[in-house]
Amino acid sequence: MPQSDSLRKDLRVFRDPGFLVTLLVIGLLCAVGASILIYAANKYGIPIREYWR
């Protein structure tokens, strides 16, 4: 039993509001970066294969 309680305490960090806000901000930054790459590829013909991995 103590092992599952310890695991539950360790996994509680994923429900922390600070973690969720950080995850949201990182997701938004990734989405903005991907959209900039796609926009540049469509408008200027810059190949994104070198950057998109």
The answer to whether position 8 is within a domain reads no
Global pTM? 0.64
Quote the number of domains for the chain. Answer: 1
Query: Which CB contacts under 8 angstroms, 24+ apart, belong to 39-47?
Result: none
Nearest to 51 by CA among 29, 40, 24: 40
Residue 15 has pLDDT above 80, yes or no: yes
| Per-residue tokens: 43 | 């408008």
Separation of alpha carbons 49 and 31, rounded Å:
17
The answer to whether position 49 is within a domain reads yes
Q: Which domain holds residue 53?
A: 16-53
| 35 and 41 Cβ atoms separated by less than 8 Å | no
| 19 and 13 Cβ atoms separated by less than 8 Å | yes
The answer to whether position 34 is within a domain reads yes
Percent of residues, the chain, with pLDDT higher than 90: 26
The answer to whether position 11 is within a domain reads no
